[in-house]
Amino acid sequence: MGTDVELASRDVDASRREPTTLAADAEQDHPTWQYALVVIAGFLVMFTTCAFIFSYGVYQSLYEVMARVEDTPFTGSSTALINLVGILAIALMSMGGPFAMHWAKIYSPQAVIIAGGWVFSIAYVLSSFGKALWHFALTQGVLLGIGTCLAYVPTMSVAPTWFDKRRGLAMGVIISGSAVGGMIWPPALRAMITHLGFRNALRISGCVSLVLVSVAGYALRWEPKFQEQVRVQTQGLRRRTGWVRVPMVNYRVARSKRFLAQALGCFLQSAGYSTPLFFYAAYASTLGYNTTSSANFITLSNASNFVSRIAIGYCADRYGRINALVVTTFLSAVAVFAFWIPSMFHTADVSKSSADGLFIVFTILYGAFASAYISLFPASLIELFGVQHFTSVNGALYLIRGMGALIGTPLIGLLIPKSSALTSSYIYERAGIATGVLLMAATLSCFWVRIEATIGTAWKWRA
């Protein structure tokens, strides 16, 4: 046992030294416009696919209102069932990660990303014809999640291969595309729903995504030196039959404590992360905000998200990407315990104005820190596991994140009673506590990763 662990550690440590030089050389070998093109293209993918999924709160709020009206697709449906539509999408956008990565290595990232754009668009158009809740679960949930996965995971894997010293900043700018989209799409969706109907809003969203993702996908290719690594890894695989092969993580790497710590952190953070995002609008309505004002909290969160992702990415490059993971995950847990949960008790211990202020602060802080994990964990993988293990580890961790969202988010949703979900803020108490506990546990896992990253070397504050 000890020998296997030692070999795994040597395997990972040796691989960590190789990619740094590879990426550093790559960053000097290409003109500036190529790096800018990768960032812009990645930004556009995030601006559409992920931004639309994380704007599901607009539909969540609408569908909950429709659940109380006769003769709608959602009549009589519980909050948990309606929430399942968004949960399926956000879970599958990560769970298919190993396959999306494997197909990107065989057929090229461009082909997989463009295919994802088409699937994403078809999912929205089909959902616009839905007549029952399960129709939306299959289209706006399952199919939309698959399309997002095919576009999102390869994008997040291509970008780190082009950068070294500025990897955190580059990933922050790319991920900020979902924040910018999150500022633009909720009010735009609300306006389209009001004036054109929610079915036409779904169709327009699908068409916009198809165009932007297809254009962006064409520019997202592996860095040339990394492409050579990919060719070595895919030797012997046939394009006709290789796509069905299940991608696996190197056994020694998968058994290492470093991988286990990172996987645990991914699962726990994902299990708690999505709940506030889906319930921003619904929760705001319990504080007395109307439908339009409630949707503005999603916009506010994404505005904070946009600024913080770039700033945190820059700081991560200077002070350590794993350090940034620990700090931002901890601060997201603090935001839940210090601001969101206290805002729930305005009918008893907290005045209405104080509850509003607490929730506004929570929205800003959670938007700033919680989503930082999404850009920071892939940015740190090349240092942790090496270039030869990067794609397989990245795909496996996205699968684990998807499992966390699929298991954690619906269970937390069940903690919100159906009867008064739109009238009483304090019924979100148990969901808030569960979210905070999961994020605090994820913080401890990130700190474990930080410790494992320095084993066998002198302790450095920057990691």
- Tell me how many domains the chain contains: 1
Per-residue pLDDT for 401 more than 60?
A: yes
Q: What is the mean pLDDT of residues 363-371?
A: 87
Is residue 23 classed as helix, strand or coil in its secondary structure?
A: helix
The CATH number covering residue 409 comes to 1.20.1250.20
Residue 435 inside a domain? The answer is: yes
Residue 394 inside a domain? The answer is: yes
Choice between 246 and 149, residue whose per-residue pLDDT is larger? 149
pLDDT band, very low/low/confident/very high, at 459 (cuts 50, 70, 90):
very low
pLDDT value at position 16?
Answer: 44
What sections of 239-386 are H helices per DSSP? 251-255, 257-286, 291-319, 321-335, 341-343, 352-369, 372-379, 381-385
**Gap between the Cα atoms of 429 and 416, Å rounded:** 8
CB 266 within 8 A of CB 397: yes
Tokens 């990619």, residue located: 19
pLDDT value at position 81?
Answer: 81
Cβ neighbour number for residue 228 with a 10 Å cutoff: 12
pLDDT value at position 359?
Answer: 86
pLDDT value at position 437?
Answer: 94
pLDDT value at position 335?
Answer: 92
What percent of the chain clears pLDDT 70, i.e. is strictly above it? Answer: 84
pLDDT value at position 245?
Answer: 63
For residue 386, give the DSSP letter.
-
- What's the mean per-residue pLDDT of the chain? 79
pLDDT value at position 175?
Answer: 82
CB 152 within 8 A of CB 92: no
pLDDT value at position 333?
Answer: 93
**Gap between the Cα atoms of 69 and 210, Å rounded:** 33
Q: What digits encode the pLDDT tens for the residues 25-81?
A: 444 577 777 888 888 999 999 898 888 887 887 887 788 888 888 888 888 777 778
Q: What is the mean pLDDT of residues 328-349?
A: 83
pLDDT band, very low/low/confident/very high, at 162 (cuts 50, 70, 90):
confident
Q: What digits encode the pLDDT tens for the residues 136-152?
A: 889 998 999 999 999 98
Residue 463 inside a domain? The answer is: no
Amino acid occupying residue 317: D
pLDDT value at position 143?
Answer: 93
pLDDT value at position 240?
Answer: 60
**Gap between the Cα atoms of 350 and 343, Å rounded:** 7
Q: What digits encode the pLDDT tens for the residues 262-310?
A: 889 989 998 888 788 777 777 887 777 776 677 677 778 878 877 787 8
Q: What is the mean pLDDT of residues 90-106?
A: 82
**Gap between the Cα atoms of 183 and 202, Å rounded:** 17
Show the CA angle centred on residue 384, arms to residues 378 and 389, nearest 5°.
80
Q: Of 20-29, 91-100, 425-434, 447-456, which gets the smallest average pLDDT? A: 20-29
pTM reported for the whole predicted model: 0.72
Cβ neighbour number for residue 321 with a 10 Å cutoff: 26
Q: What digits encode the pLDDT tens for the residues 114-131?
A: 999 999 999 999 998 988
Choice between 255 and 379, residue whose per-residue pLDDT is larger? 255
Q: What is the mean pLDDT of residues 339-352?
A: 72
Per-residue pLDDT for 254 more than 90?
A: no
Residue 200: which domain range? Answer: 2-229+238-454
Residue 62 inside a domain? The answer is: yes
Lookup: tokens for 126: 């089909």
Residue 88 inside a domain? The answer is: yes
pLDDT value at position 116?
Answer: 92
Per-residue pLDDT for 244 more than 60?
A: no
Q: What is the mean pLDDT of residues 383-390?
A: 73
Residue 86 inside a domain? The answer is: yes
Residue 460 inside a domain? The answer is: no
Residue 108 inside a domain? The answer is: yes
Per-residue pLDDT for 406 more than 90?
A: no
Q: What digits encode the pLDDT tens for the residues 308-324?
A: 878 887 788 788 878 88
